[in-house]
Structure 1
């Protein structure tokens, strides 16, 4: 199973632990909104909150590209505040785990 397949399964099952188990110990997430970053522990907490919130919906997800060094994915996300964003995520891989993620998002008008 590819990393993307595991990510997709975790999202489908709303399993934050399955998703965050893919993170390297030195994982870093760079927020598209502010350019600030979060470490692995902060991301695990955020993913647990997101997966537990039924109003956070990830849809139309697809893998754009994946190899041993990089995973690029695109999805549409609905958020509790009623906003919807198209999200492009670029995951840098190391030793079979995700060590860094950066995202870019575009607000979608309804």
Structure 2
């Protein structure tokens, strides 16, 4: 069974990097969003099991996406992947339901371990 994943980041290079970092044994169906508003639009019409989310994006940032998800009856597991690694930011995103906060540039092994911890591997 394929894992439905939404990768939300305003940088095409970062989205590609995140997608390449996914373990090859993980069968995935991937959608991409170029900003937080687009991510919310996709999340409102399609159920995803996993959201790989950047924090700094135009229109709606990652915190805004997490706030949107916190008001939904069901939502995907969220892994935040950001260069903005301030302790206060980490506290905020975790309080809004993110499962993990990973630092950019993304470490493939750390992502694999996180996916294992979440039961996807």
The two structures share one fold, judged by TM-score above 0.5 = no
Structure with greater strand share of residues: 1
Structure with greater helix share of residues: 2
TM-score, normalised to structure 2, is 0.27
TM-score, normalised to structure 1, is 0.28
